[in-house]
Chain A
Amino acid sequence: MTIRTLTAAAAIAALALTTAACGSPSSSPSQASEGGKTLTYWASNTGTSLDNDKEVLAPQLKKFEEKTGIKVNLEVIGWNDLQTRIQTAVTSGQAPDVVNIGNTWASSLQSTNAFLPLDEDTMKAVGGSDKFVKAALETAGAPGQVPASVPLYGMVYGLYYNKAIFAKAGIQPPKTYEEMVSAAKKLTKDGQFGLSLRAGSYSTNAHFAFLNSAQNGAELFDAEGKPTFTSDGVVKGVKRYLDLMQSEKVVKPSDVQVDSGQGVHEFTAGKVPMVIGATIDSIIQADGMKADEYGVVPYPAPAGAKDIASFPAGINLSVFKNTKNKDGALKFVEFMTSAETQKALNDKFGTLPVLKGAAPTFLADTEKAKVLLDIYANRSKPLPLVAAEDQFESTVGKAMTQLFSKVASGNTVSDEEIRGALETAQQQVAASAG
């Protein structure tokens, strides 16, 4: 009987082992690569569409394969999904080898410890940190820490305007916030509005909460990394941005539902004369608007405020720490940030170079490229380089979307209400950071 019991137990145990083996996740295809012959690369949506990204990247990846013998499996991921996908990859450990990240996420992703720190030696393997523009490199991670990403493409916000409509109304491109509002007011008539905002996108809203606060000289986090969203400068900054729709009435209320490229399409269709966007030239031109039909100026600050028009936005490249092909991954990073590849990709994507001495030649329109590069180099202030930056974006951005909703539905939003919403956001950040 004891023997039988033992056999039964053994049989059950054996079965349990089998099922356990079935249940355990097999190693992900990306990392099953043998002998460093393949890499998995998640690219963000930088071009006009996911397919466009594939088209632009394919020749470069082929070149890389010819050079090194490493095949790159490319997956292009839209911005709506990228953060969740990265999160899942971090959580499960089933990650690609190399991934594009929004550079504003760099410090918060760095704090997950899931990415390869690029110390001096590693940095040398990708060409040395000296090759990058300083403003771009500053976005690679929290200050004083070993960066976990390198800059790949540079982007900035700009105010795009329709040259023909401006000429017809006899308006000069605005240099201050007041000029922008008066131009927009002049052009708001016959059911058309002067300016289009992406007011339904929480990340864009958070970016402009930051920019308008920065113009007021306000900081979002104090020296200890604690959120300071409720200071007067921030409240007034948020109010100024909301007022474009609320009191100035130059933004269409239904822009509160705009969370992707609809505003740009209306701009290229001539339905709205001004739109704010981050290096959207490739999208504008893919939509059929010619380069000489529109211009770009820095997003203007009010007279007397700090001249901050953007933050050094863009896309960085990170290597997952648990990659099975570290050498190949670093080779790939080196290749992607080499002068030749950079030039080819920046031209196609209409993004700014992140390498020192590289000329902005994108889309054969050096005039606009110069304006954008000037914003990037001289009129940008980095978003707070703290681990809670992403939580600032989600909480404050969402609070602003709610405030915009109220404005759009015909209610008035006061300073106190804004402060209350920001107070809630601040508590949420403190709760999850604590």
Chain B
Amino acid sequence: MSVTTVEPPAQKPTVRPQRKNCRPKPSGWWMPYALIAPAVLFVLAIQILPMVIGIFMSFIKLTKAFIANWGSAPAAGVANYSVSLDFNSAVGKSLLASFFVTCGFTVLVVGLSWILGMAAAVVLQRQFRGRGFIRTLFLIPYALPMYAGIIAWKFMFQKDTGAINHFLFDNLGLGGEKPFWLIGDSSFAAMVVVALWRTWPFAFLMLMAGLQSIPSEVYEASAVDGAKPWRQWRSITLPMLKPVNVVLILVMFLWTFNDFNTPFVLFGNSQPPGGDLIAFHIYNASFLTWNFGLGSAMSVLLLLFLLLVTGIYLIVTNWRSRRA
């Protein structure tokens, strides 16, 4: 049986050289596969393996009693998932709260970053003196080492010694008590500001690059027809930037939703409820309590959610573009 299954493909290569004389060595057909094999294996090892291990971990009871020897960890079934998703218990309730905080955070940061980035890119599209300087200035937050930037913000947000309260209350003379920025409810606002500061230059950079590819004739022609800047932006810039926007918003969404560094550096290990982003929440749930099974279950849930959102997003944007 196996001979017959091997036979047909074996004949094809022998036929082909007769048709195409430019390939005299059919014997090396496996060479390309062998050459790309290491790359494929590396991709599997780097991308898929951790994911598979993570999914595996979410089904075992990997607490500190078993962490030194994974093999001995007992199976947990879906216990880790049911604990995470039991919204009446402390664990599930806090996970849900963290999820909502993260959603709000993502919408605000991605939305505002896009608006700021678009505005700056459009304004800086015109040629004027000092344009290069301003472009560089806007890109600085993106170029700064992330930790250094966020630590600087952390200092600025201190209650008594921070630059922000000093500016608002001492320089501008705002009345009332100086607020805490990094604890309590204001921490959400502080975190959004820092993330926005860090994210918008990326939107700016991408949109600026996208704008370069729109031919200036289109604008000139529309100006001749009497189109004002707003109309030009709406009818030319926006549609022609669509491919850029689709990718940009998706990438910013994924980055922001998974943001770990901003809350971690701003708040350290004791995150306020308003600064409890989900990636950070999962880290705390697994590293502070040594319960890696539970943390993995939460990660898998996060992965599923992001896959779902990304899938829907891509289907909707593709469908729209096909209709258009």
User: Do A and B truly interact?
Assistant: yes
**A-to-B contact residues, CB < 8 Å:** 1-2, 4-5, 7-8, 11-12, 15-16, 18-19, 23, 80, 84, 87, 90-91, 93, 108, 111-114, 200, 202, 253-254, 256-257, 259, 321, 387, 390-391, 394-395, 397-398, 401-402, 405-406, 408-410, 423-425, 427-429, 431-433
Nearest CB in chain B to that of A256: its residue: B183
Q: For residue B94, which residues in chain A have a CB less than 8 angstroms away from its CB?
A: 424
Judged by a CB distance under 8 angstroms, whether B270 is at the interface is yes
Do A90 and B270 have beta carbons less than 8 Å apart? no
Interface size class of B (residues with CB under 8 A): 35 or more
Complex Cα–Cα for A124 and B41 (A):
51
Do B184 and A409 have beta carbons less than 8 Å apart? yes
Q: For residue A5, which residues in chain B have a CB less than 8 angstroms away from its CB?
A: 6, 30
Q: For residue A394, which residues in chain B have a CB less than 8 angstroms away from its CB?
A: 269, 288-289
**B-to-A contact residues, CB < 8 Å:** 6, 10, 27, 29-30, 33-34, 37-38, 41-42, 45, 63-65, 67-69, 83, 89-91, 94, 158-160, 177, 179-180, 182-185, 268-270, 272-273, 287-292, 294
Do A431 and B89 have beta carbons less than 8 Å apart? yes
Nearest CB in chain B to that of A431: its residue: B91
Contact of A15 among B41, B45, B273 (CB under 8 A): B41
Nearest CB in chain B to that of A113: its residue: B68
When A and B form their complex, what is the total count of cross-chain residue pairs whose Cβ atoms lie within 8 Å? 129
Contact of B270 among A91, A202, A254 (CB under 8 A): A202
Pairs of residues from A and B, 9 with the lowest C-beta to C-beta distance, nearest first: A8-B30, A427-B90, A114-B68, A405-B183, A432-B291, A432-B289, A394-B288, A401-B270, A424-B90
Q: For residue B291, which residues in chain A have a CB less than 8 angstroms away from its CB?
A: 431-432
Do A406 and B184 have beta carbons less than 8 Å apart? yes
Nearest CB in chain A to that of B182: its residue: A257
Provide a sorted-by-A list of 23 A–B residue pairs whose CB atoms are within 8 angstroms: A1-B6, A1-B10, A12-B37, A19-B38, A108-B290, A111-B65, A112-B67, A112-B68, A113-B65, A254-B159, A256-B180, A257-B180, A391-B289, A391-B290, A394-B288, A397-B270, A402-B270, A405-B183, A405-B184, A409-B185, A425-B90, A427-B91, A432-B294
Q: For residue A254, which residues in chain B have a CB less than 8 angstroms away from its CB?
A: 158-160, 180
Q: For residue B41, which residues in chain A have a CB less than 8 angstroms away from its CB?
A: 15-16, 19
Q: For residue B185, which residues in chain A have a CB less than 8 angstroms away from its CB?
A: 409
Do B90 and A15 have beta carbons less than 8 Å apart? no
Q: For residue B10, which residues in chain A have a CB less than 8 angstroms away from its CB?
A: 1
Q: For residue A11, which residues in chain B have a CB less than 8 angstroms away from its CB?
A: 30, 34, 37
